[in-house]
Amino acid sequence: MPADSPPLDSLPFDTLAAALDILHRVYGHEAFRGRQAEIIDHVVKGGDALVLMPTGGGKSVCYQIPAMLRDGVGIVVSPLIALMQDQVAALQQMGVAAAVLNSSQSLDEMRAVEAQLRQGTLQLLYVAPERLLTPRFLDLLHTLKIALFAIDEAHCVSQWGHDFRPEYIQLSVLHQQFPDVPRIALTATADRETRAEIRTRLALEEAEVYLTSFDRPNIRYRVVERTDAKRQLLALIEGDYVGAAGIVYCQSRKKVDETAAWLATHKIKALPYHAGMDAETRRRNQERFLREDGIVMVATIAFGMGIDKPDVRFVAHLDLPSSIEAYYQETGRAGRDGAAADAWLAFGLADVVLLRRRIEESELSDQRKVVSRRKLDALLAFCEATTCRRVALLSYLGEESQPCGNCDICLEPGESWDASVPAQKLLSACWRTGQRFGVGHLVDVLRGEATDKVTRFGHEQLPVFGIGRDVDAQIWKSLARQLVSLGYLIVQSDQFNTLAVSETARPLLKGEATLMMRRPTVKMGRGNRPRRNGTAEATTAAALTRADVAPDLWDALRNRRRDLATAQNLPPYVIFHDATLLAIAQAKPQRLEDFLHIPGIGERKMKRYGADFLEVLAAFR
């Protein structure tokens, strides 16, 4: 327990005990997660490390604690100014001597930081790569004792990645000029090529590699069939996420504007963000999203790069993302703080048609088209999955796993059914009607609806007329979508989305293949509580949700947090993360010392904010 841990200097020299002590007293965390302890041990002893961990996995302590345990200042290279500033603010809140050097500072501010460096009073310095690499600054570093170099977002050295930063390549001078200082590179990008590139470009060939699972256990994955996307989204927000921050992704700028405006008329604080807006409005919207509580950002994928907001409670996709990689990256922006979060996607046949057509009509080479089709197929398979979504996602990322208990499929099991016979009927209806009609008409024929169009073409005479009365129109539509996803039905590239039977459907028609389907019955609006049978550490982090807390208490705590943050011109999550605030609401500490038992509260934050929150709680006893 944090309160009982002995002071640092009375411990024998044992890195782990000392590291744990810092974790308790400074961070207010109970125990190390995953491979954090190993990494810290290795770096404190002077080893180089390459750390591959998902977003929210807890990379920061892997270099922050070694920097505090080793002599001298830890130099952290980071590509984004806003990100650096938040991190430094968070460290200062915990009582760590941290500072930042970047181009947005005045000369006086920079001089003040340099003076601190010379006096040896800093534990951590965050610096932009271009500043670090100036000869003047490197000279200054040579006069100092340096604990370590940490290279955050290390995938920025990769020329093929989308975050490429040319200055990152020159960071190999650190190894040449400071061969005895340990270096630790960190990234949430795990693919093999990027990993290899980081090693060679940063001269980290000898470094120990720490690869951890890319699972994000606190994120609940849900895929729903789109009926009325905006209303479905509203139900999601009103059900679980009133007043919570979220990101809604749409494909087009027009849809972004419409959706944001529509949500606003339903009392949701929604703002648009896309590349077609003027830079100033965009900047302002982003700023509000970061600083204010509970903003829903409706955006195209232009939004998100470098968004480090830890308390994004949901990421909703109203259109299909472009690939599983993109989906993983975009949904990964939810729940960085480890508290429960949702990744919610609504999709329909139109998406499949659109994305297929986009590939076919693109200027891509045939080879690239094959790759794009494969990526789309993988994504569709994920959407149509009848087994655990997380297992599918992780297996795509190269990891084996067990059913998770925290996705729509795990939470509503036993709903898959053998749709082979209905599939045959649908294929047959398509064939019999001459492969000239869209899904709506085929469903009418199957369900025996004698519409004008049906009688005009004499389709009520066909043997397939009415053979599908027992199946709901909605199910026929999702079956059609699945057949298109699987390539059994082909959408012909004309404006009416007419369907044709593909050659590959042969085994299904002959009864040699089966087709499993899920019943589209995803309910919404229940409390968001992950039920994990996975690792204990993940479960504790994700255990509490807003459903466990009285709404007025939650609001009172959030308002106090907001006031404390505004007074210091900081975003609220720098004071306390949501998970910490939830734990306060649940434990209702009575005395100052009780706050030390709340995850995320160390000694400094207890002293600084304990009394404030005791006051809020007093009104609720």
Q: Which residues bind Zn ion (CB under 5 A)?
A: 388, 390, 404, 407, 410
Shorter beta-carbon distance to ligand ADP: residue 56 or 182: 56
Structure tokens at 127: 């610096």
Shorter beta-carbon distance to ligand ADP: residue 55 or 323: 55
Distance of CA 267 to the CA centre of its chain: 25
Rg for the chain, CA atoms, rounded: 27
Q: Name the binder of 56 from ligand ADP, Zn ion, none, CB < 5-8 A by kind.
A: ligand ADP
Q: Identify which range of 153-161, 333-341, 418-426, 612-620 contacts ligand ADP by CB under 6 A.
A: 333-341
Does residue number 338 form part of the binding site for ligand ADP (CB under 6 A)?
Answer: yes
Does residue number 422 form part of the binding site for ligand ADP (CB under 6 A)?
Answer: no
CA distance to 382, 410, 417, 473, 517, per residue, from 414 (Å): 18, 9, 8, 22, 11
Shorter beta-carbon distance to ligand ADP: residue 29 or 389: 29
Q: Identify which range of 31-39, 165-173, 406-414, 545-553 contacts ligand ADP by CB under 6 A.
A: 31-39
Shorter beta-carbon distance to Zn ion: residue 87 or 528: 528
Q: Name the binder of 490 from Zn ion, ligand ADP, none, CB < 5-8 A by kind.
A: none
Nearest approach in angstroms of CB 532 to Zn ion is: 10
Shorter beta-carbon distance to Zn ion: residue 5 or 401: 401
Using an 8 Å Cβ cutoff, are 90 and 64 in contact? no
In the numeric block, the tokens 């693109």 are attached to 362
- Of all helices (H) and strands (E), which one includes residue 599? none
Shorter beta-carbon distance to Zn ion: residue 127 or 404: 404
Using an 8 Å Cβ cutoff, are 401 and 215 in contact? yes
Using an 8 Å Cβ cutoff, are 572 and 620 in contact? no
Using an 8 Å Cβ cutoff, are 606 and 589 in contact? no
Q: Name the binder of 407 from ligand ADP, Zn ion, none, CB < 5-8 A by kind.
A: Zn ion
Q: Return d(Cα 228, Cα 185) in angstroms, integer.
A: 45
Q: Identify which range of 128-136, 332-340, 427-435, 496-504 contacts ligand ADP by CB under 6 A.
A: 332-340
Q: Name the binder of 404 from ligand ADP, Zn ion, none, CB < 5-8 A by kind.
A: Zn ion
Distance of CA 28 to the CA centre of its chain: 24
Residues 55-84 that bind ligand ADP (CB under 6 A): 55-61
Nearest approach in angstroms of CB 332 to Zn ion is: 17
In the numeric block, the tokens 């400071």 are attached to 178
Q: Return d(Cα 621, Cα 612) in angstroms, integer.
A: 15
Distance of CA 173 to the CA centre of its chain: 33
Annotate 262-307 with DSSP letters as a single string.
HHHHTT--EEEE-TTS-HHHHHHHHHHHHHSTTPEEEE-TTS-TT-
Q: Name the binder of 25 from Zn ion, ligand ADP, none, CB < 5-8 A by kind.
A: none
Shorter beta-carbon distance to ligand ADP: residue 212 or 433: 212
Using an 8 Å Cβ cutoff, are 81 and 569 in contact? no
Residue among 597, 574, 544, 525 at smallest CA distance from 339: 544
CA distance to 145, 221, 287, per residue, from 522 (Å): 58, 12, 34
Size of the site for ligand ADP (CB under 6 A): 18
Residue among 532, 470, 106 at smallest CA distance from 340: 532
Residue from 32, 63, 488, 576 binding ligand ADP (CB under 6 A): 32
Structure tokens at 8: 């640092």
Shorter beta-carbon distance to Zn ion: residue 131 or 519: 519
Nearest approach in angstroms of CB 93 to ligand ADP is: 12
Shorter beta-carbon distance to ligand ADP: residue 480 or 538: 538
Q: Return d(Cα 219, Cα 230) in angstroms, integer.
A: 22
Centre a 10 Å sphere on the Cβ of residue 1 and count the other Cβ atoms it contains.
8
Q: Name the binder of 388 from Zn ion, ligand ADP, none, CB < 5-8 A by kind.
A: Zn ion
Over the window 252 to 291, marking each residue x when it contacts ligand ADP by CB under 6 A and - when it does not, the resulting string is: ----------------------------------------
Using an 8 Å Cβ cutoff, are 185 and 151 in contact? yes
CA distance to 165, 437, 449, 476, 486, per residue, from 490 (Å): 42, 12, 24, 16, 9
Over the window 473 to 502, marking each residue x when it contacts ligand ADP by CB under 6 A and - when it does not, the resulting string is: ------------------------------
Does residue number 307 form part of the binding site for ligand ADP (CB under 6 A)?
Answer: no
Q: Identify which range of 32-40, 325-333, 368-376, 435-443 contacts ligand ADP by CB under 6 A.
A: 32-40
Structure tokens at 318: 């109203």
Q: Name the binder of 58 from ligand ADP, Zn ion, none, CB < 5-8 A by kind.
A: ligand ADP
Shorter beta-carbon distance to ligand ADP: residue 57 or 534: 57
Does residue number 210 form part of the binding site for ligand ADP (CB under 6 A)?
Answer: no
Chain residues binding ligand ADP by CB under 6 A are: 29, 32-33, 36, 53, 55-61, 310, 336-338, 577, 599
